[in-house]
Structure formats: structure tokens, C-alpha cells
């Protein structure tokens, strides 16, 4: 996963955050006063530094939650809403930015290379609970292909042929007397769908018209392919490579080449990123357990900074290649541990075979090569590709 900005560790603020968490359990008024004394950036730090299960409570303690929520890193907004429960997260999503909402769908609305119907339904319902304005804002930000897929999963749409003998199906509804829609699933009251369509018709008719036509005419596989393309591009902007690119870290290194130190230049000359997950430093609970972190501690301050961003880049590739759930907060520590374990294997091997120190090896060999060597030594491979899951089209045909 990824790091949020270029924050250095702030021990005093971390201690203050722990004290506020303690106060929140025993003296809400004192906790509110303590939070109010913090700057806006410090309030964001406070929320993101807390366990995801406690973040909603902390947001409620902030003087103006609507100022804090839009500043949460994109993935942290997703984690926070899920930890609270999407059915109860409407008040958070109400103040989320379009970018945060789209990122939440990109991170949590897919299984592998296919949209996750159940998750998408939950997010759409949560947007409906947040209100019509939030639903409309999200609809305008999301890819049209994704909206059509969500609609098609829930409703059949038909256009009035203006034939006197034609009658809409029983239970069909219409917003404007031209397009009719009917639920595909018994017991689905379509409350969020109706709210979405009414908002689009009232505020963005041409998008409404395109969506209804899309449900009728567009090809399922074409919609899924384009939705995946747009999502892949956005995830790359957030630092998550495509699956094909991520799989390069598992490229096999032949035994004869594993000891070699290639001329790779300044491997730790890496610039800081503004990325969507709060991670001001690597978790201390695992840092001492792996040789790669002990070696990094001996680097200069500038080199440690480059190491940090190189490391989280490899962790992102691991998360994508291993098909970890990008919308889950647990993925971050899991990806870090996997990366640390495999990189440490490669680091120790190359250092021993060349008779040099671990920190010098870290300065001369890129983390990606260290991972590849470690994976080759341990015979580690990414999980096998899962059997194809039914797409929206498959379910419809069934």
C-alpha cells in the first residue's frame, strides 16, 4: 500500500493522539476541547493515526467534521467508511470529495478484474443514505460504464415504443413517461436507484438519457472492459501498477545471476509521493524483525527517505500481484510484511555472497531486484489465477 504525503514521524503528536483517545472513552467534553486545540492538519493526523474502528468517534469530536473528511487520504476514507459500516456511513460520505468517492469504488468495488456486484450495491445504498446531492455528485464523478453496470445489475429498462397496444411490465416505474424500469430481484425496492434516476433526470438529463439507453443497448463485456481500463489508469495514478506490471517482481532470477550486483546507479534516489494511505513511517512493530529494516536504519537521512518510498512502491506491487483486497485496511500491514520478508532474504543472500554489509547492499541493489532474488531463493510465487468469476453478463445469461 502507499504512504500519505511526506510526513515525518511526530512523536509528540502521536502521544497527544493517544491521550485524546483515552479521553474520548471517559470524558467526551475534555476530548472535544483537546481536539479543538489542534490545527486542521493535526486533526487529520489524529483521525488517520487511530485504529479504523475508532475513527468515526474521533470525527464526531472534531469541531467541523466537514472540514476534516475531505482531507482524509482517499484509501483512508474508504477504510473509515467500511469500519463504521457502509449502512451507517452516509454522514461521512456526504462530505467526501468526488475523488475520494471514485477511489472507494475503485479500491473496494472490484474482485480481481471484474466488478464486485455485492460491494457496488452496498456503496450505492450508502450514497443513497447520504442524500440526493451526494448520490448525484458521485454519479457525475464515476465512469458512465460503471453506472450502467450497476443499473443493469438491478433493473431491466425498456423504452416506450409509442404503440397503443404496448403495456409496461407489472411493477414497472418511470420518471418521465419514456423509459420504464423494473426490478430484477424480488424484494428489491430500488429506493437508491429511484433516487439516483430522479436526481439525474432533474439535474443532468443527458447523463440520465445516456444511462438508460446504455442499460438497454450497450454490450456487457464492452462496459466491463472500459470500466476496467479507467480504473486501472486511476489506480496507477495512486501508485498501484497494473497486474501485468506488478507481476514483474516475481520474475525468476537464475541461480547463476542471484549473486550479481548490477550497475543500477543511485537506487535510493527516489522522490517523495503524495499518496492515498496514511503511513508516516513503517510500522515499528515489524521493523526490527527483518534485516532490510535494520540495514535501512544505518542509511543517511536522505537515503532512508528514498528507501521508504521505494519500499512502499514494492509493497504496492505485492498487493496487486498477490490479488490482495485493496479496499481493506488489513492489506497494508500484510503487504509490508510480505515485502519485508522476501526482500530480506534477497538482501542477506547478496550481501553474504559478495562479502559486503547489508546497508551497502541496500545502497547498491534495487529493492525490486532484492525481492526477485528473495522470491527465487524461496520459490515464492503469486497465488494462482482464480477461476473466472461470473460477470454481470454471465449472471444475466444464467
Report the pLDDT value the prediction gives residue 79, as an integer from 0 to 100. Answer: 95
What percentage of the chain reaches a pLDDT higher than 90? 70
**In percent, how much of the chain has pLDDT > 70?**
90
What's the pLDDT score for residue 267? Answer: 87
CA dist 229 and 218 (Å) reads 17
Can you tell me the distance from the alpha carbon of 196 to that of 130, in angstroms, rounded to the nearest whole number?
A: 12
From CA 370, how far away is CA 249, in angstroms rounded? 9
Strand partners of residue 157: 181
What whole-number distance in Å separates Cα of residue 88 and Cα of residue 362? Answer: 46
pLDDT at 5 over 60: no
Reported as a pLDDT band with limits 50, 70 and 90, residue 218 is very high
Q: Which three cell numbers stand for residue 167?
A: 403495456
What are the boundaries of each domain within the chain?
A: 1-71, 73-236, 241-378
Residue 111 and residue 84 in contact, taking contact as beta carbons nearer than 8 Å: no
13-17, 273-277, 339-343: least confidently modelled range: 273-277
Confidence bin at 387 (pLDDT 50/70/90): low
Write out pLDDT tens, residues 123-169: 999 999 999 999 999 999 999 999 999 999 999 999 999 888 889 99
Residue 40 reports pLDDT greater than 50: yes
The set of cell numbers assigned to 299 is 542509511
**Contacts made by residues 51-57, CB under 8 angstroms, sequence distance 24+:** 52/79, 52/80, 52/82, 52/83, 52/329, 53/83, 54/21, 54/24, 55/80, 55/83, 55/84, 56/80, 56/83, 56/84, 56/89, 56/92, 57/24
Grid look-up 452496498 returns 122
What pLDDT score was predicted for residue 164? Answer: 83
Tell me the three state secondary structure of residue 59.
helix
- For residues 175 and 389, which has the higher predicted lDDT (pLDDT)? 175
Write the pLDDT tens digit of every residue in 229-269: 999 999 998 889 998 999 999 999 999 999 999 988 888 88
When comparing pLDDT for 114 and 284, which is higher? 114
CA–CA distances in Å: residue 245 to residues 127, 314, 317, 341, 342 = 33, 11, 8, 21, 18
Residue 223 pLDDT > 80, yes or no? Answer: yes
The pLDDT tens digits for 103-123 are: 999 999 999 889 999 999 999
At 283, the pLDDT band (50, 70, 90 cuts) reads low
pLDDT digits (tens, 9 = 90+) for 310-335: 998 999 999 999 999 999 999 988 99
Lowest mean pLDDT among 106-115, 356-365, 375-384: 375-384
Please return the burial class of 12, using the count of CB atoms within 10 Å of its CB with bins 0-12, 13-18 and 19+: exposed
Contact 101, 141 (CB under 8 A): yes
Distance CA 297, CA 362 (A): 11
- pLDDT at residue 277 above 70? yes
Least-confidence region, from 62-66, 263-267, 281-285, 360-364: 281-285
Residue 309 has what pLDDT? 87
pTM for this structure? 0.87
Amino acid at each position: 500500500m502507499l504512504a500519505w504525503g511526506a510526513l515525518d514521524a511526530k512523536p509528540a503528536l502521536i502521544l497527544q493522539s493517544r491521550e485524546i483517545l483515552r479521553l474520548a472513552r471517559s470524558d467526551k467534553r475534555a476530548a472535544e476541547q483537546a481536539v479543538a486545540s489542534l490545527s486542521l492538519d493535526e486533526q487529520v493526523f489524529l483521525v488517520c493515526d487511530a485504529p479504523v474502528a475508532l475513527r468515526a468517534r474521533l470525527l464526531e469530536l472534531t469541531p467541523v467534521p466537514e472540514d476534516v473528511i475531505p482531507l482524509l487520504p482517499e484509501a483512508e476514507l474508504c477504510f473509515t467508511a467500511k469500519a463504521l459500516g457502509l449502512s451507517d456511513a452516509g454522514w461521512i460520505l456526504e462530505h467526501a470529495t468526488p475523488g475520494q468517492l471514485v477511489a472507494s469504488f475503485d479500491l473496494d468495488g472490484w474482485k480481481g478484474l471484474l466488478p464486485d456486484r455485492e460491494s457496488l450495491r452496498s456503496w450505492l445504498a450508502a450514497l443513497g443514505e447520504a442524500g440526493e446531492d451526494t448520490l448525484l455528485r458521485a454519479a457525475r464523478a464515476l465512469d458512465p460504464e460503471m453506472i450502467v453496470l450497476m443499473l443493469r445489475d438491478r433493473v431491466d429498462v425498456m423504452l416506450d415504443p409509442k404503440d397503443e397496444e404496448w403495456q409496461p411490465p407489472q411493477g414497472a416505474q418511470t420518471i418521465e413517461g419514456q423509459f420504464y424500469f423494473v426490478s430484477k430481484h424480488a424484494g428489491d425496492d430500488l429506493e437508491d436507484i429511484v433516487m439516483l434516476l430522479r436526481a439525474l433526470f432533474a439535474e443532468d438529463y443527458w447523463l440520465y438519457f445516456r444511462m438508460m439507453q446504455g442499460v438497454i443497448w450497450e454490450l456487457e463485456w464492452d462496459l466491463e472492459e472500459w470500466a476496467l481500463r479507467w480504473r486501472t489508469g486511476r489506480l496507477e495514478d495512486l501508485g498501484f501498477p497494473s497486474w501485468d506490471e506488478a507481476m514483474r517482481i516475481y520474475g525468476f532470477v537464475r541461480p547463476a545471476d542471484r549473486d550479481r550486483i548490477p550497475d543500477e546507479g543511485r537506487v535510493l534516489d527516489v522522490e517523495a509521493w503524495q499518496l492515498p494511505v496514511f503511513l508516516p513511517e513503517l510500522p515499528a512493530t515489524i521493523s526490527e524483525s527483518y534485516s532490510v529494516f535494520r540495514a535501512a536504519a544505518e542509511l543517511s537521512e536522505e537515503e532512508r527517505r528514498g528507501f521508504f518510498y521505494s519500499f512502499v512502491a514494492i509493497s504496492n506491487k505485492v498487493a496487486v500481484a498477490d490479488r490482495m483486497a485493496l479496499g481493506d485496511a488489513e492489506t497494508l500491514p500484510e503487504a509490508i510484511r510480505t515485502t519485508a520478508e522476501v526482500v530480506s532474504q534477497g538482501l542477506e543472500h547478496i550481501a553474504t555472497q559478495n562479502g559486503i554489509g547489508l546497508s551497502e547492499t541496500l545502497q547498491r541493489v534495487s529493492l525490486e531486484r532484492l525481492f526477485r532474488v528473495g522470491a527465487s531463493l524461496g520459490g515464492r510465487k503469486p497465488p494462482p489465477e482464480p477461476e473466472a468469476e461470473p460477470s454481470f453478463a454471465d449472471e444475466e445469461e444464467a
